[in-house]
Amino acid sequence: IWEEVLKEAKNHLSEQIVNTWLKPIKVGELRGDFIQLIAPNKFYKNWIETKYLPLIKKIFNESLSIEAQTIQVITKLSEKQKKTVTHTVSSAVTVDVFTSNLNKQYTFDNFVVGNSNNFAHAACLAVSEGYFHTYNPLFIYGGVGLGKTHLMHAVGNKLLEKFPKLKVLYISSENFTNEMISSLKSKKMDEFREKYRKIDVLLFDDVQFLAGKQRSTEEFFYTFNSLYDSQKQIILTSDKTPDEIPEMEERLKSRFAWGLIADIQPPSVEEKTAILMKRAEQMNIPLDEKVALFIAENLKSDNVRELIGALIRLSAYSSFNGEPISIELAKKTLDKFLIKKDKIITFDTILKVVCEYFNVKLSELKSKKRTKSIAYPRQIAMYLMREKLNCSLNEIGEIFGGRDHSTVLHSINSIEKKIKKEKELKEIIKILEKALYE
Ligand code: ADP
Ligand code: MG
């Protein structure tokens, strides 16, 4: 789990900080919403508690979907572990001359391609081969957690593998803004501009956050022009198309559309299952395809980050409680995150299912006709509404042409009695219930 926390932390903190402060931490216990972290010594403990606890909590709760109400940091470490810690600290002191900010974990190899993302993936792959002028800028847009940042890092990582001297820089628009503000304050704007203008490949994440920020927008505009004019590659991501970003300067929007605009859509159930299986394999989680499919079909969110979070949560609960991963365990531990199927059933679904099964017309079902072939299905529909929707007798009466509640009650009671006696009716109800959930 801690590996996942580290990975996510790299989106918020510099790699150096993550390696220095968070990497040596271990997870001690995980019980319900209580999490215990083990720090190498008191110094770490204090530092973590004062500086990084809110972020760690946030990552557990939001990115990994592991409820973390209380996080306790303790110190307890063997001699051997102490040695590795001092090693980590001293080696972190040497700073790279040019830091690309790339997260090595985000590669093409571990990115699952499907209909939802194959266009963006293909474009990124082309850029990563070194075809710089074809898609410039490459603008990728799509909802939160659909893999934009992952793809961007994958391009950077692959490029550096092939061309180690290339100056690839990944930066989020927020960090760009922060860096600019601090450069302004310390009167180092020349340095700032110099740094950005010597880049070969700029990976600029979440450009929509520049909207409304005049000074950073302006600075970015010059960076963009300078890089573009010297035929350097630019990749941008955003949660919206250039047109849809509010308060974004026209001149920037039009530049964003000079190259290629590629979208990423929410993944289908098949893609979600594939992503879960792949991630489980990477993390050595014994995940049955049936369970993966269950999660893929039933998770409320389309966000891949939350999908993976669900897997991690499930696996954490499984290993801490010694229960094998199953659909049952998934239902138990992911309950809050799953679609509540009962909510989807409406009066209309019940009417539809009953009409179809008994082959009667909706108008007949709602009419006053009392022939058995119609009255019987009608009573069953009433019974199902009461059972599944927890609605009032009057509401049901309304649906069936304004019958009063005592008539409705009588119908429901008679079905209830028959279910107890007649096996056949019991079967019919089962079939109808199943159809309701489909
Ligand atoms: P975005 O930047 O679009 O908000 P991220 O790139 O941060 O999304 O992706 C969120 C998480 O989901 C990351 O851990 C990423 O590795 C994972 N992810 C997203 N899409 C895929 C995919 N197609 N295959 C594998 N992992 C994916
Ligand atoms: Mg992102």
Is residue 153 assigned to a domain? yes
Q: Which residue has the higher pLDDT, 54 or 341?
A: 54
Is residue 6 assigned to a domain? yes
Is residue 102 assigned to a domain? no
Q: Which is the closest atom of ligand 1 to the Cα of 112?
A: 24
Q: Band of the pLDDT at 29, cuts 50, 70, 90?
A: confident
| Domains identified in the chain, total number | 4
Are both 355 and 327 inside the same structural domain? no
- The per-residue pLDDT for 341 is 60
Q: Which is the closest atom of ligand 1 to the Cα of 308?
A: 12
Instruction: Encode pLDDT of 74-83 as tens digits.
Output: 877 555 444 4
- The per-residue pLDDT for 85 is 40
Distance 274 CA to ligand 1 centre (A): 13
Distance 216 CA to ligand 2 centre (A): 19
- The per-residue pLDDT for 71 is 87
Q: Which is the closest atom of ligand 1 to the Cα of 307?
A: 12
- Whether the pLDDT of residue 94 is over 80: the answer is no
What ligand has the least distance to the C-alpha of 283?
A: 1
- Whether the pLDDT of residue 90 is over 90: the answer is no
Are both 202 and 283 inside the same structural domain? no
- Whether the pLDDT of residue 302 is over 80: the answer is yes
Report whether 147 belongs to an annotated binding site: yes
Q: Which residues contact 100 (CB under 8 A, 6 or more apart)?
A: 156, 160, 167, 168, 169, 170
Are both 142 and 227 inside the same structural domain? yes
Nearest protein Cα to ligand 1, atom 14: 305
- The per-residue pLDDT for 81 is 41
Are both 285 and 314 inside the same structural domain? yes
Distance 58 CA to ligand 2 centre (A): 16
CATH number at residue 256: 3.40.50.300
Average pLDDT over residues 382-388: 91
Nearest protein Cα to ligand 1, atom 18: 147
Is residue 87 assigned to a domain? yes
Is residue 214 assigned to a domain? yes
Report how far apart, in Å, the C-alpha atoms of 320 and of each of 7, 85, 316 are: 22, 26, 6
Are both 356 and 328 inside the same structural domain? no
- At residue 126, the 3 state secondary structure works out as helix
Average pLDDT over residues 362-379: 94
Q: Which among 339, 359, 377 is the end of a domain?
A: 339
Average pLDDT over residues 301-322: 93
- The per-residue pLDDT for 306 is 94
Average pLDDT over residues 289-304: 93
| Three-state DSSP string of 283-328 | CCCCCCHHHHHHHHHHECCCCHHHHHHHHHHHHHHHHHHCCCCCHH
Are both 222 and 327 inside the same structural domain? no
Are both 68 and 13 inside the same structural domain? yes
Is residue 97 assigned to a domain? no
Distance 184 CA to ligand 2 centre (A): 26
Is residue 187 assigned to a domain? yes
Of 1, 54, 51, the C-alpha closest to 21 is: 51
CATH number at residue 56: 3.30.300.180
Q: Give the CA dihedral 116, 120, 123, 129, nearest 10 degrees.
A: -90
Is residue 108 assigned to a domain? no
Report whether 142 belongs to an annotated binding site: no
Query: pTM of the entire structure?
Result: 0.64
For residue 396, give its domain range.
343-436
Cα 214 to Cα 376: distance, rounded to the nearest angstrom? 69
Q: Which is the closest atom of ligand 1 to the Cα of 117?
A: 23
Are both 218 and 348 inside the same structural domain? no
Q: Which among 282, 314, 339 is the end of a domain?
A: 339
Q: What does the DSSP assignment read for 340-377?
A: -HHHH--HHHHHHHHHHHHT--HHHHHS----HHHHHH
Distance 361 CA to ligand 1 centre (A): 48
Nearest protein Cα to ligand 1, atom 25: 111
Map tokens 């960090």 to a residue: 175
Least confident interval from 87-101, 148-162, 206-220, 383-397: 87-101
Average pLDDT over residues 254-259: 94
Are both 129 and 200 inside the same structural domain? yes
Question: Helix and strand tally (H, E) in the chain?
Answer: 22, 8
Report whether 149 belongs to an annotated binding site: yes
Cα 263 to Cα 270: distance, rounded to the nearest angstrom? 19
Instruction: Encode pLDDT of 406-426 as tens digits.
Output: 999 999 999 999 999 999 999
- The per-residue pLDDT for 344 is 65
Nearest protein Cα to ligand 1, atom 5: 147
Distance 205 CA to ligand 2 centre (A): 7
| Length of the chain counted residue by residue | 438
Are both 365 and 424 inside the same structural domain? yes
Q: Which is the closest atom of ligand 1 to the Cα of 11?
A: 7
- Whether the pLDDT of residue 40 is over 90: the answer is no
